[in-house]
Structure 1
Amino acid sequence: MKSDDDFYKSEMHNLHSAIETNFHDSISGYYFVELDPTKRETKFGHKREYSWLWALCAMFEATNEVEKVDQNADLVDGIFNNIQHYYDPAPPVPGYGEYIVKLNKGQRYYDDNQWIGIAGLEIYERTGDTTYLDLGKAMYDFMMTAYDTKLGGGLYWRENDFESKNTCSNGPGVIVALKMYKATNKQAYLDTALMIYNWTNEKLQTPTGLFYDNIKTEDESIGKAIYSYNTGTMLQSNVYLYEITGDEKYLKEAIKLADSSLEYFYGNGQFRDGYWFNAVLLRGYQHLLKHHKDLKYILGFKKALDKALTEDKSDKGLFASNGSTYNLVEHGGMLEILARFTHLEDNYDLGNSK
């Protein structure tokens, strides 16, 4: 079953080199948000040429996946150290702001902190380094300041903005809580996970089993955009719940989400939204494969990936599609995808990769 091709591994290493060459500023040590200096945003009177926290979240998870398949890689600590420039200890609970604090800290987003928590807990599971368990606990504590009982529960999207509760802050919230439960065996974390999971299914799941973007607190109107990462977090939540509880209903729900998302997001053989959004859905597909051996989800995703590798790559080895710019968050997403496919090509027959 194992492939001798190493096609995706080669693509992974090439992309990581291209990211470091083109996005990492050797003078400041920060990462650039955009390749094109004219597209770096001015906000609040300051030019924000360096990366938003979100892109470093993408790089944090991606470099952890690279380390899983390349034992010589030593990358996550460097990204984590870079993230510390975004640390904001403001009350009620410390967290990470959207931008470099000493330059212009801006808003704190609950989902950004959750992505950091998820990656940190993944690193803890892999290495046993309690620094990253402590990070997961801190991100859990921060995200729970987003909870109240409006609309019956759920988490807001960003601090001091009570307009909406979003799948992008509730789906990863379930995963942070579940991973904290796995790490500590404390029932309170599982209780939190189930509370958020049930609320998200009730308020934001579509009739076909995907997930809407948000619900407004004022009138309960639904923001009906459907993104791959929202389905991805809820799919993976179901896989974790199946592993933790042994209840088959969660595995059945995960398969239902995988089936619905495969047709919706990959039925036309290309990525429907950004690379990073798709990376989060791939997490769910890859996790599901441990318990449901059908490769159709991975192979459907692979068609879109191979198309992007053929059509979206520039002479610099960077990626842009659907009119998007060369930005760091999408490159973090593509790097994670390639690292995950490196694992998959080493363990499954994926067919021709060229």
Structure 2
Amino acid sequence: MTVVAHLKEKYLLLFFLAVGLSMHSSSFSQRPDYKKQVSNLYATVNHYFYIADSGFYREHAVKEKEDHPVSYLWPLCALIQAANEMERVWPDSNYMDQVYKVIEKYDDPAPPSPGYDSYPGSFKREDRYYDDNQWIGIAAMDAYFRNGKKRDLKMGKKIYAFMMTGYDSVAGGGIYWREGDMNTKNTCSNGPGIIVLMQLYQATHKKSYLKQALDIYNWTNRHLRSPEHLYYDNLNVKTGKIGKHQFSYNTGTMLQANVYLFEATKDSSYLREAEKVAASADSYFLGDGKFRDDYWFNAVLLRGLEHLYKHTGNNQHLRAFAKCTDQALANDKNTSGLMGKDKAVNLVGQGGMLEILARLAWLQQKGAI
């Protein structure tokens, strides 16, 4: 090769590298300021949903005919996790305190173990759902790893004790969906159950937590994992029929369960499985550039994707997720600044988007997206 040809090749290489870096930088710069977005949405949510006089939240921004006076517990499960993620972004804040105070209004000390009702007993006692309680436990344990507060570890242990009252050997194991309903065992009560157990294992190093987590993990994969490494909704233990709906939050919890098990055991097969789950989730739930499911369901998926990124450094799935978020911000924000143009705006969806935005803001700060 002549000197001229060599120089020409070198300059062409530098040119294409510069173009590539410019395009990469441009894609980053075109991202919304997620920190600003979450701050604005949080203020708007408090304005429309928080009832300062009673210390509760309402279910919808505009009261629906069938609404109860205050919200169910599920939206608070979304808000407590969002508050934790916001405290990561603003380390000197205390967003969780307000939500914690409201959640305690749903406390029910009834046997066999204290837990949280789906609706506050001061109005009307309703069912206790294992998954509702688990979401609270997960947020509390995430907070514990961040700030070391005994309050949060105590909450994690309380949720563990309650959720295990829903475990038995029918159909070979697994946790029921709600207390007193012995019909179905669901991915939404087993996936987050594994995470609570793994969080407690990380916090205490008690091997019994790991053993129980593995038991539930193996049961869930045996009965509810699809051939594509996504997850079905439930097993009817009376009939053996599988409810084959696939939701992003179920896949998200099992994705994160694999990452936790990799961290605990150093067995790389769990990390490989997590990567397969993430790839399928990316294709199925995010594949056309917009969210297939509601915002909170996707927030749970993002938890798993973020946790996986910690070990792989591959931000492909996070970028696909951010693209869907950007699409939603551009096309599904109403005139009040809340998420949802075409249907009644409920609190769980707003909580889900708050968590998504806070997580993306934190990742944006770290240069991950």
TM over 0.5: yes
1:21 maps onto 2:40 in alignment: no
**Equivalences for residues 29-178 of structure 1 within 5 A:** 29-41=55-67, 48-178=68-198
**1:44 maps to which residue?**
none
**2:226 maps to which residue?**
206
Q: How many residues align?
A: 343
Q: Given the alignment, which residue of 179, 196, 199 partners 2:199?
A: 179
**1:249 maps to which residue?**
269
Q: Could you tell me how far 1:105 is from its partner in structure 2? A: 2.1
Q: Could you tell me how far 1:294 is from its partner in structure 2? A: 1.6
Query: Which letter maps to 2:37?
Result: E
**Equivalences for residues 322-337 of structure 1 within 5 A:** 323-337=342-356
Query: Which letter maps to 2:356?
Result: I
Deviations 1:51-81 (A, max 9, x none): 1101001000000000001124221011111
Deviations 1:224-277 (A, max 9, x none): 100000000000000011111100000000000000010000111111011000
Q: Which has the higher contact order (CA 8 A, sep 6+)?
A: 1
Q: Could you tell me how far 1:303 is from its partner in structure 2? A: 1.4
Give, in whole Å, the separation in 2 of the partners of 1:261 and 1:51: 30
Instruction: Please provide the CA RMSD for this pair.
Output: 1.5
Deviations 1:130-167 (A, max 9, x none): 11101100100000000111110000000000110000
Partner SS, residue 138 of structure 2: helix
**1:284 maps to which residue?**
304
Sequence identity, in percent?
48
Partner SS, residue 290 of structure 2: coil
**2:9 maps to which residue?**
none
Q: Is the 8 A contact 1:109 1:157 kept in 2?
A: yes
Partner SS, residue 111 of structure 2: coil
**2:366 maps to which residue?**
347
Q: Is the 8 A contact 1:40 1:49 kept in 2?
A: no
Q: Could you tell me how far 1:26 is from its partner in structure 2? A: 1.7
Deviations 1:2-41 (A, max 9, x none): 9787700000000000000000012211100111212443
Give, in whole Å, the separation in 1 of the partners of 2:183 and 2:99: 32
**1:9 maps to which residue?**
35
Give, in whole Å, the separation in 1 of the partners of 2:203 and 2:104: 23
Partner SS, residue 51 of structure 2: coil
Q: TM-score, normalised by structure 2?
A: 0.91
Q: Could you tell me how far 1:199 is from its partner in structure 2? A: 0.2
Q: Is the 8 A contact 1:6 1:345 kept in 2?
A: no
Q: Could you tell me how far 1:349 is from its partner in structure 2? A: 5.3
Q: Could you tell me how far 1:348 is from its partner in structure 2? A: 2.1
Give, in whole Å, the separation in 1 of the partners of 2:313 and 2:338: 33
Q: Is the 8 A contact 1:6 1:346 kept in 2?
A: no
1:231 maps onto 2:231 in alignment: no
Q: Is the 8 A contact 2:32 2:326 kept in 1?
A: no
Q: Is the 8 A contact 1:62 1:332 kept in 2?
A: yes
Query: Which letter maps to 2:141?
Result: L
**2:11 maps to which residue?**
none
Partner SS, residue 162 of structure 1: coil
Partner SS, residue 142 of structure 2: helix
Give, in whole Å, the separation in 2 of the partners of 1:248 and 1:40: 50
Give, in whole Å, the separation in 1 of the partners of 2:66 and 2:81: 24
Give, in whole Å, the separation in 1 of the partners of 2:329 and 2:179: 37
Give, in whole Å, the separation in 1 of the partners of 2:344 and 2:35: 25
Query: Which letter maps to 2:224?
Result: L
Unaligned runs of 5+ in 1: 42-47
Change (3 A) 1:39 1:297: farther
**Equivalences for residues 266-305 of structure 1 within 5 A:** 266-305=286-325
Deviations 1:151-200 (A, max 9, x none): 10000000000110000000000000000101111010000100000000
Give, in whole Å, the separation in 1 of the partners of 2:366 and 2:202: 25
Deviations 1:264-323 (A, max 9, x none): 0011111101100000000000010011122110111111101100011011110116x5
Change (3 A) 1:103 1:331: same
Unaligned runs of 5+ in 2: 1-23
Partner SS, residue 182 of structure 2: strand
Give, in whole Å, the separation in 1 of the partners of 2:275 and 2:65: 41
Change (3 A) 1:247 1:33: same
